Amino acid sequence: MIRADDRPSRRTLLGAASAAVLTAGCSATSDQPPATPVAAQAIPPTGKYQAGITTPRTPQPNLLAIIADLPSSAVPPASAVGRLLAELGETIVALTTGTSARLLGLAPGDLTVTVGVGPRLVRMAGHTLPGATDLPPFPHEQIAPKARGGDVLLQLCATDPLVLSVAAAALLDRAGDRLQERWRQSARRGPAVPVADGLTAPRNQLGFVDGIVGPHTAEEQQRNLWLDGPAPVAGGTIAVLRRMELDLGRFAALSTAAQEAVMGRHRDSGIPLSGGVVADGPDLGAKTPDGRYVVPAGAHARRAHAAVVGVGLMLRRSYSIDEPAAGLLFVSFQNDLRTFTATLTHMGNGDALLPFTTTTASATFLIIPGFDPQRPLGSTLF
């Protein structure tokens, strides 16, 4: 969709037309065929872990999250949940490999579909399993009952936004009346900023680079991201989704220096106020000559810092949204829900960013371990 401010001006169109006329003579005598866009590389849907978390390494620019419930207030038999998940897995393979007629001729490209189950379903498999705990309420929330929690998460990501709604319709049709949608959110990643070798992070609607620090190496991911047990959940992870409205007008009214004091990083580069390079964490002990912290006490980079909170790293994915209001969809993956809850609790104690946010939807899910033809999706649990 082209926004009004993205439409080319009359001068731009005339300039483009003139350029086309000037180059037409050269093009007519050229033997070079017209350039064709490079197709997005397919992401294998099967394996030890589900796709769409660390693969691809640079997340696709478009996301559609669908949160749904099993229709009955009573917990269904585990075998019924198992059949539903297995069928969703079959559909995911057909969609991502391009063998499904439901794609309507669209190329799947780098489509990934990641499936999670909410605490109510996890408790069917075991009350003490990771993922069995609901998220508690937090400050700065205005969440309607329908937008809190949920039984099933379908996270679809792709470079081509058209593929997302088509694939989502195919998955929901396969589920039939066994799933009832609670809410959905379309979102997109902002412009990518290089962070480290082969690693980028997007800008958010506040203008800052978002999601710089995280478990990016295989060792960090094994320690902070993936569940290594118990056996039914090994190869899974815990996801948290939070939809937030941002008070862009009030934040934009601040000076650049005041905005940077809220975030703890420089807006133009993403470098911590304490210096270094963009990939660095802030030096929380650095002080000015008059004894003030260079990274202010209330800065988001300090209040949410894993070492300060005393938790592991979370793999954060922030996507910009403009419906139902300007804001972001925050998605984090971690192997311990406390990583998120303790961080947000610590932020609630003085994080300068929180007053500019209002959370309007919230849920947590156990991302099921990966699957393959011999091990259907969800079979380790149900």
Q: Provide the token pair at 55.
A: 């693969």
pLDDT in tens, 19-60: 433 333 343 444 554 544 567 899 999 999 999 999 999 999
Q: What is the pLDDT of residues 263-294, one digit of tens each?
A: 999 999 999 999 999 999 999 999 999 999 99
Q: How confident is the model at residue 10 (pLDDT cuts 50, 70, 90)?
A: very low
Supply the pLDDT for residue 366: 98
Burial-class residue 125 by CB neighbours within 10 Å (0-12, 13-18, 19+).
Answer: buried
DSSP 303-333: HT-HHHHT----EEEEEEE-SSSSEEEEEEE
* Domain covering 62-367, topology: Alpha-Beta Plaits (3.30.70)
301 closest CA partner among 195, 213, 192, 201: 213
Cβ pair 307, 298 in contact under 8 A: no
The two three-digit tokens of residue 35, written as one number: 């350039």
Looking at the DSSP assignment, which residues form a beta bridge with residue 112?
157
For the cut 70, the answer to whether the pLDDT of residue 351 exceeds it is yes
For the chain, the domains span 62-367
pTM for the structure as a whole:
0.89
